[in-house]
Amino acid sequence: MAGNREFFNRKLHSLLGVIPVGLFLIQHLVVNHFATRGASAFNQAAHFMESLPFRYALEIFVIFLPLLYHAIYGIYIAFQANNNASRYGFFRNWMFVLQRISGVILLIFIAWHVWETRIAYALGRAEVNYDMMADILSSPFMLVFYIIGVVSATFHFANGLWSFAVSWGITVTPRSQQITTYVTMAIFVLLTFIGIRAILAFINPDLANI
């Protein structure tokens, strides 16, 4: 019974990491990328997301609860995980280790980001707009912190896609797993580029066009 429960929990953890958490990450990066078009474009995109019908229900049941489950169970997995070098080899073992490290970093980053934006907005301290993010990222420490957070998020998602494909029986053969490695690495590079470019746009729009 315990083995079946753990199997189910791991499957659910893997699924939620892609749907809906992974899809939300992509959507969030795309909205942030509107900052490269200027403050007005970003504010319009952010306002559109905030004006969606059933917004709070969507945030709670489609974003926060799945994210909370994925984060808590992910931390449990990180501290229970064993080295898997004998199964997948040196490169994949390092991906395994980095997946756990990036997950811990993400937990810290997301908690701070939510506090600094959504909770600040809920308490009436600030409005979530271009100026808020520009003010946050004007600090060199916060700039580095956000870059590390974004890279951790894009890596965790992209590398998690590889594990998802294996655990759900989508990629079974070594050849298919190797191809998936290249695909997920490309996804990581693309999403990281989008995320970093958006961060730079909040500091100086000209930097995003370098």
* CA 159/CA 110 separation, integer angstroms: 18
pLDDT at position 85: 47
* CA 39/CA 36 separation, integer angstroms: 8
pLDDT at position 64: 92
pLDDT at position 91: 86
How wide is the angle at C-alpha 17 spanned by C-alphas 22 and 110, nearest 5°? 70
pLDDT at position 121: 72
CA distances from residue 161 to 43, 121, 165, 185 in whole angstroms, order as listed: 31, 32, 6, 10
Is pTM beyond 0.85? Reply is yes
**CA dihedral of 128, 39, 47, 17, whole degrees rounded to 10:** -70
pLDDT at position 87: 58
Q: How many CA atoms are closer than 13 Å to the CA of 10, on its beta-carbon side?
A: 15
pLDDT at position 3: 67
* CA 37/CA 130 separation, integer angstroms: 11
* CA 5/CA 153 separation, integer angstroms: 27
Collect the ranges in the chain with pLDDT lower than 50: 85
Report domain extents, the chain. 2-209
Question: Domain 2-209 - what CATH class?
Answer: mainly alpha
Contact call for residues 153 and 18 (beta carbons, < 8 A):
no
Q: What are phi and psi of 20, to 5 degrees?
A: -105, -5
